[in-house]
Chains A and B, each alone.
Chain A
Amino acid sequence: MAELLFALNIFILATFVGFEVISKVPRLLHTPLMSGSNAISGIAIIGALLIAGAVGEPARSVLGFVAVTLAMINVVGGFVVTDRMLEMFKRKPGDDGTQPRR
């Protein structure tokens, strides 16, 4: 149970960090922020790798294989599509982008 409380501690603090860090996101970036953070949720790849790489029942390894595949789709697809979107956001000459747009 001590482990659970410790983990909960980290979870709650990280949630507050998340709110703090992105609370001022301009509307322009709603989609890229969403798809970028979506790619980060592909971090489940870590768990998937640990299962796919463990020695044990083949059926469990197959679950691991599917999990690795799905997580990699999430990770690679998420980051690539976000980059594609952000590449399109053009600025006008002379605008150095230092003014946050809301």
Chain B
Amino acid sequence: MTIIFIELAYLLAGVTFIIALKWLSSPRTARTGNLVGALGMAIAIVATLFHQGIARFEYIIPGMLLGSTIGAVAARKAAMTAMPQMVALFNGVGGGASMLVAWAEFWVLTPGRVALDVPISIMFTTLVGAATLSGSVMAFAKLQELVSGRPIIYRFQQAGNAAVFLAAAGLAVYLILQATVSGPVMAPFYVVLALSLALGVLFVLPVGGADMPVMIALLNAFSGLAAAGAGFVLHNHVLIVSGALVGSSGVLLTRIMCWAMNRSVANVLFGAFGATVQATGAAAGRTAQSIQADEAATLLAYARNVIIAPGYGLAVSRAQNEVRELMKALEARGVSVKFAIHPVAGRMPGHMNVLLAEADIPYDKLVDMEVINGEFPDADVALVLGANDVVNPAARSDRSSPLYGMPILDVDRAKHVIVIKRSLAPGFAGVDNDLFYMDKTRMFFADGREALVRILQELKTV
């Protein structure tokens, strides 16, 4: 009888997850949607505790307490600027949990009695779960700058990765066939586990910082697939449904991110984009015009329309509050201020939105690329703040540029352009930016936050 209630609870949980995702897709209902999802999860957990297979709690209760505490503290303490790393880590531990479930189930396989589908599912989950775990940790290390954010490449990289994958897959097939005959053989299993963990790291190494939005979305999809795999292992439908939902949302976001860069998923993953740096403009004999805080303040103060184009540099210099102050100061003078949001600005999908929302900037000020591009010709000043590749006009006009074809923010169509940047160094893609050398462009060489503080001071005297 209990099992019927548990199954009904699982069904209910599955439904709440679908509703949660639906509501998460609309600003008005998003917060409630998230709570509905949390409620569904609570229902599924409580129902499981009544399962007849659960005979003791001495491993469950400490695990739940420890995990909840770590999760809650990490989620509360993390700075919004560190959100990409945080999401990567949460992805990783989810994949890790699925991997451990597969491992524990492999351990107790009984020879002869198992249908082939169980060991197949176990090996799949082990591979995907382990790769999600180690890949996410590697992504975390890159985002936290524990290792270089540039692509790490070496000779025969892709061939080497393919070899590791084939070795893991081949061994997995052997284990699947062996499991039905003689039960689990642990030693080769650990080799598969180690190879899968290695694969996750190797997979993320050649992906550079600016391509992280794609990588994070993809790891999200993987963590869903791993959970679904665990569902196949345990014949548990709520795991399959939830895993599939997460998988599809991850895949969808991955595709949106790739479209926004006009590149294929394969190009992002294997292209080692940004590994080489081309000659800079100075070398090509061009000079950029610089500007000081007082001139910048004057230009902004007497504008009617100002559009700010933020990028990852804004997150790095943690200047989101200064940006809000600038917006307020300009609005007090009757200047209209808007923010131009490029879909892949930052290090994760929607990064700029979260960052600016933290600074209390109303979300109707944040305008998506397609809409704002029509407004640049009417803008008196476009202020570029820590963005580079996403405002490079070469993407529109220069067929030889690696950026060619990527949709960009048309800041160069504004009447004046101010670029706040520490130097003329090329952006992540390693290409020089023509925008910096245009007649209408002025470069403000400074750290983002420092520059804004100085402009704000000067604004008071204008």
**Chain A residues packing against B (C-beta within 8 Å):** 1, 3-4, 7, 10-12, 14-19, 21-57, 60-92, 95-98, 100-102
Contacts and interface: CB of A to CB of B under 8 A. Distances in A.
B425 interface: no
A65 B98 CA distance: 13
A87 B27 CA distance: 11
A47 B236 contact: yes
Nearest to A79: B38
A82 B55 CA distance: 34
A75 B239 CA distance: 14
Contacts of B366: 28
A44 B94 contact: yes
A71 B94 contact: yes
Contact of B240 (A14, A51, A72, A76): A14
B59 A32 contact: no
B34 A74 contact: no
Interface residues on B, range: 35 or more
Contacts of A17: 18, 244-245, 248
12 contacts: A11-B228, A14-B248, A27-B353, A29-B30, A33-B21, A37-B220, A47-B234, A67-B63, A69-B67, A70-B96, A74-B97, A80-B76
A40 B101 contact: no
B232 interface: yes
A96 B28 contact: yes
A55 B364 CA distance: 55
B210 interface: no
Given A43-B41, A70-B67, 14 more contacts: A25-B25, A26-B26, A37-B224, A38-B220, A41-B224, A46-B45, A46-B48, A53-B59, A54-B53, A67-B100, A81-B78, A81-B83, A84-B75, A101-B364
Contact of B97 (A32, A70, A87, A98): A70
Contacts of B228: 11
Contact of A37 (B26, B96, B250): B250
Q: Give the one of B28, B71, B117 with max A CB within 10 A.
A: B71
A72 B64 contact: yes
Interface in B202-252: 216-217, 220, 223-224, 226-228, 230-252
Contacts of B55: 53-55
B143 to A, nearest CB: 14
B104 A51 contact: yes
- Identify the interface centre among B45, B90, B105: most chain A CB within 10 Å of its CB: B90
B283 interface: no
B24 A83 contact: no
Contacts of A102: 368
Contacts of B374: none
Contacts of A21: 18, 21-22, 25, 245
Contact of A18 (B78, B247, B351, B357): B247
A46 B242 CA distance: 11
B428 interface: no
B156 interface: no
Contacts of A69: 63-64, 66-67, 70
Contact of B107 (A60, A84, A96): A60
A72 B120 CA distance: 26
Nearest to B40: A40
B63 A27 contact: no
B301 to A, nearest CB: 24
Contact of A41 (B34, B120, B121, B227): B227
B438 interface: no
A33 B120 CA distance: 31
A26 B31 CA distance: 15
A33 to B, nearest CB: 5
B86 A65 contact: no
Contacts of B38: 39, 79
Given A32-B24, A67-B100, A74 B94 contact: yes
A80 B48 contact: no
A78 B117 CA distance: 31
Given A66-B100, A91-B362, A27 B90 contact: no
Contacts of B266: none
A73 B368 CA distance: 33
Given A27-B350, A50-B234, A68-B60, A40 B20 contact: yes
A80 B13 CA distance: 18
Contacts of B108: 56, 60
